[in-house]
Amino acid sequence: MKQISFNVDKKTRLDEFLKKNHISHNLFISIYKDDIFINGKHAKRNSKLEKGDIVTINLRDEENKYEPINMDIEVLYEDDDIFVLNKPDKLTMNKDGEKSLANFVSYLFKQRNIKQKVRFINRLDQDTSGVVMVAKNKIAQAYYQKNSFKKKYLAIVKGNPKDQKIELNLKRDGIKTEIDENGKKSVTILENLKNYGDYSLVSLELLTGRTHQIRVSMEYINCPIVADSLYGEKIENFSQMLHANEIEFVDMKGEYHNITTNLPQRFKDYLKE
């Protein structure tokens, strides 16, 4: 069983202190009776804290339902709370009945004796490659879901779009996402890195996190992502040319990180053609 400890820096209530440390009310209610301690003693829901107190949370062992499978997947970053992985294309996150990224995470957990469920902080489509952040426990998941992090993507698109901000209202409709005035606002920043004849390599920064946001945005400006079978045109033997290449975040200790990846081989191969 893993423990996480916090040092109290001023007089406050337990629930207020934990909220400031990114533990939600629902999570607090679910664990305070058995798994929160103040200076080694069981905490009460209305406990008061003094400067210098130590709050400890027990993370009970959990059942992990995914079979551990080693794969040739790059671990870009690791600390006590998270992994950042470089997911290949043509791999699902956690689809039942087939090998997925969750199986590789389960393998990493087994190697490190982490007895927790697999918790993804961000997700990518099956044919999108790139950075995926994985929480090692539910406290880390709560922290990173509450604290925003910047994500950037690379894409090969049809046409030669200009640098621009794309703002759309999007709504999920079955397997697709549609533009809908009553949908949720999405904002994407596009930078054209280089033109390759009738195609371009572009950088895309997400200021919001809507499902298929990039893919719909590129279709909207008539520059669909190459090999995007849902919003563009399918190309045999190619996954869609979309790759999450960069993520910026502040970790649970307050340190800043910028994690980047190399251009995927399938991008290099396509641009050579």
State which amino acid sits at residue 180: D
**Residue 155, CA distances (Å) to 13, 61, 68 in order:** 48, 40, 31
Maximum C-alpha span of the chain: 68
> Hunting for tokens 């509450």 — which residue is that?
146
| DSSP labels, 104-158 | HHHHHHHHTT--S--EESS---TT-EEEEEEESSHHHHHHHHHS--EEEEEEEEE
196's CB contacts (< 8 A; 6+ apart) are: 156, 271
Identify which of 118, 115, 112 has the alpha carbon closest to the alpha carbon of residue 133. Answer: 118
- Residue 182 CA to residue 172 CA, distance in Å, equals 11
**Torsion of the alpha carbons at 116, 24, 183 and 172, rounded to the nearest 10:** 20
198 among known catalytic residues: no
Token pair belonging to 209: 């996190």
Token pair belonging to 172: 């999920």
* Active-site option among 81, 89, 125, 228: 125
Q: Which residues are catalytic?
A: 125
